[in-house]
Chains A and B, each alone.
Chain A
Amino acid sequence: MAFVVVENVSKTYSDQESGIGVPVLRAVSTEIAEGEFVSLMGPSGSGKSTLLTILGAMNHPSQGRLLIDGIDVYALSDERRADFRSQYLGFVFQQHHLMPYLNAIENVMLPLATLSMASLEKRRRGLDVLEKVGLAEKAKRLPNQLSGGEQGRLAIARALVNDPPLVLADEPTGTLDTKTGDEIMRVFLDLNARGQTIFMVTHNPENASLAHRVLHIRDGELELATDSRARTASRFSPAI
């Protein structure tokens, strides 16, 4: 059975002014295997972000269901879903959304703050992931003391610290220049090479093509997926 199963998921938002329902996703179904790297492309307003937040256990679908590791995610209570996010998911946001008042190691340890775990263990895990993304030496720096690429890597480290089975990335290179964007994609590829399941929303066809599979979405409906096994691996030498 696939690790992630999206079953006939629809989402309709209610227009605040008219009160009329606006369908954003229409009976979307797909599956993601464990260890797979899937990217999602589509024009603005096509429903990419909505699908991502539904996959992220944050946005209750109007219809259909989402199974991750066999768990019917939206059958869980709100608080249990928060626990599920903490255990199963790692988020990488487009703008990184690092806490500016916490240093690098504190930002990385943020998802561990709610867990009953010894402080030393939290720190050890934080340093481990910082090591993985090549930022161990900058653990004490505040986000604004890091470059754009380093901030991106720090955001990835935060997404990995709780060792989640699934990493969700929302246009992680959207605001970065090509060189920094490549640096981030290199990290993703390397993580995937180690077995990490990744779902990435992107506008960038080149980055999308680095995934095993590219999903295309238009007007809330998934179109045929592209098998993009022909990764342009030559662009990326292993980063980590």
Chain B
Amino acid sequence: MRISTIALANLRRRKGKAVFLMSGIGIGIGTAVALLSLSGSLRDEIGSQLDRFGANIVVTPHSDSLALDYGGISVAGVSFDQHQLSDADVAGISRIRYRKRLSVVAPKLIGTTEVDGRKTLLAGVDFNSELRLKKWWRLTGRPPESPTDVLLGYEIARAVSAIQAVPGSVANADRATSHHAAMPEEIRVTKEKVSLGGREHRISGVIGQTGGPEDRMVFAQLGQVQGLLGRPGQLSVIEVSALCKDCPVEDIVAQIKQELPHANVSAIQQSVRARAEAVDRLSRFSLVVSAVVLAIGALMVFTTMMGAVVERTKEIGVLRAIGFRKTHIIRSLMIEVVIISAAGGVGGWLAGLLAGRLALPYFTEGGAQMELRLSLAVFAVAVAMGTGIISSIYPVLRASRLDPSEAVRYV
């Protein structure tokens, strides 16, 4: 016979009340877990979208430029004190402290050239990194392998008659309807070679229409382009993709700036930040709702415990009369509260997780996963126990302060 024996026996005796209290705490915790899991999953989804989005840091040569206009008419810009980027700068980026957070570093040299006699933009890229960065590119054909392989943008490919639409493809058939205007067109590469700056190159593939500048560009191996343009070792831009789900982009930008003082380094975050802010708001809303539901749960525990103290006045009086100290009464009641709260916390965590999983598809664009986070389980049980204990402090202290002579007389 220990004090815990009395607490456990009491729980067994008042099963209904224990289940009621557990449910109260469990609902509060479940709501909190569901909302926090949902906002966590949404945050993760944004993180992966950010990675899919491509580069989130752009490094360009530093130049002090002066925009000139006269009467609202842009005349020209004057650039002076212009620095060049070089292959060595790529190595510099990979030396920063947060280098492990960099998923892709994609250097480029951009210039103009003639493709089958048409003046067009030529980009020299490292295809390994470029294709990892531009995950939204849909290639018809194969990624370039040899130095003389090139990828053509959609508009250029059409202009040099290197592609044909596949008959019967959806976009081709219903191009006029707005519903299908955004649908990708199925194409077939019909030309093998193209002249680039007077030299023949093999068309390895064509990039599907993106609506972006790449539609009007030709992509070739970086070294090849540096040779074609007569700018060996030079770069125009370096795009960097950092794994930025929770990473400090500003810190990475600062580190690159420090490493490349002659370059402009800027983070592209605007589009993602807007959504991240929306998720932050959802997170804050989740916290407020969770707090309200938990407060209701706490109130429920408080009133139930107050009722239990009144109901158990006789019992507490008898225990005090036979030699139980106030601390013994507190311990006995708190053991019950802790057991109920912990069970409510575990139950609430499981229920919240289930509810979150069921609700997730309605809040995301699909593909988002809800992770089983042990930290959330620990948090749920800790908050449940905290809520139970805090809301029971007054009733339990009141019970311990019952005057035993009054309690015995009451009975």
Q: Given A82-B326, A83-B323, do A113 and B405 touch, yes or no (CB 8 Å)?
A: no
| B179 contacts chain A at the CB level, 8 A cutoff | no
User: Which of A87-95, A177-185, A230-238 lies at the binding interface?
Assistant: A87-95
Residues of A within 8 A of B1 (CB): 106, 109-110, 112-113, 119, 122-123, 126
B393 to chain A, nearest CB (A): 19
Residues of B within 8 A of A78 (CB): 326
A111 and chain B: residue at smallest CB distance: B322
A110 near B409 with CB under 8 A, answer: no
The total of interchain contacts (Cβ-Cβ below 8 angstroms) comes to 90
Partner of B5, one of A82, A93, A106: A106
B323 near A114 with CB under 8 A, answer: yes
Partner of A53, one of B314, B318, B323, B405: B405
| B43 contacts chain A at the CB level, 8 A cutoff | no
Can you list, as one digit per residue, whether each of A157-188 has a CB less than 8 Å from chain B (1) or not (0)? 01000100000001000000000000000000
| B315 contacts chain A at the CB level, 8 A cutoff | yes
Residues of B within 8 A of A85 (CB): 321-323
Can you list, as one digit per residue, whether each of B322-345 has a CB less than 8 Å from chain A (1) or not (0)? 111111100000000000000000
- State A99–B327 Cα separation when bound (angstroms): 20
B2 near A113 with CB under 8 A, answer: yes
Residues of B within 8 A of A152 (CB): none
Q: Given A49-B409, A97-B318, A99-B315, do A87 and B5 touch, yes or no (CB 8 Å)?
A: no
Partner of A113, one of B6, B321, B409: B6
User: Which of B8-16, B206-214, B262-270 lies at the binding interface?
Assistant: B8-16
- State A102–B323 Cα separation when bound (angstroms): 18
Q: Which of A89, A91, A95, A101 has most B Cβ within 10 Å? A: A101
B3 near A101 with CB under 8 A, answer: no
Can you list, as one digit per residue, whether each of B1-30 has a CB less than 8 Å from chain A (1) or not (0)? 111011001101100000000000000000
| A148 contacts chain B at the CB level, 8 A cutoff | no
Can you list, as one digit per residue, whether each of A69-106 has a CB less than 8 Å from chain B (1) or not (0)? 00000000011001101110111010101011110001
Q: Given A53-B409, A59-B405, A100-B13, do A82 and B318 touch, yes or no (CB 8 Å)?
A: no
A56 and chain B: residue at smallest CB distance: B321
Residues of A within 8 A of B326 (CB): 78-79, 82
Residues of B within 8 A of A113 (CB): 1-3, 5-6, 324, 328
Q: Given A99-B315, A100-B13, A113-B6, do A53 and B322 touch, yes or no (CB 8 Å)?
A: no
- State A49–B405 Cα separation when bound (angstroms): 9
Q: Given A58-B408, A95-B411, A106-B5, do A79 and B325 touch, yes or no (CB 8 Å)?
A: yes
Residues of A within 8 A of B314 (CB): 97
Category for how many chain A residues contact B:
35 or more
| B320 contacts chain A at the CB level, 8 A cutoff | yes
Residues of B within 8 A of A87 (CB): 323
- State A113–B1 Cα separation when bound (angstroms): 5
A115 and chain B: residue at smallest CB distance: B323
| B319 contacts chain A at the CB level, 8 A cutoff | yes
B118 to chain A, nearest CB (A): 93
B387 to chain A, nearest CB (A): 26
Residues of B within 8 A of A83 (CB): 323, 325
- State A46–B291 Cα separation when bound (angstroms): 55
- State A100–B6 Cα separation when bound (angstroms): 11
A-B contact pairs, 27 of them (CB 8 A): A53-B405, A56-B321, A56-B405, A58-B320, A58-B404, A79-B325, A82-B323, A82-B328, A85-B323, A86-B322, A89-B323, A91-B321, A93-B318, A93-B411, A97-B314, A97-B315, A97-B318, A100-B13, A101-B12, A102-B9, A106-B1, A106-B9, A109-B1, A110-B322, A113-B328, A114-B324, A162-B323
- Other than the given A56-B405, A85-B323, A110-B319, 13 more pairs (CB < 8 A) read A58-B320, A59-B403, A82-B325, A82-B326, A86-B322, A86-B323, A89-B323, A93-B408, A95-B411, A97-B315, A111-B322, A113-B5, A113-B324
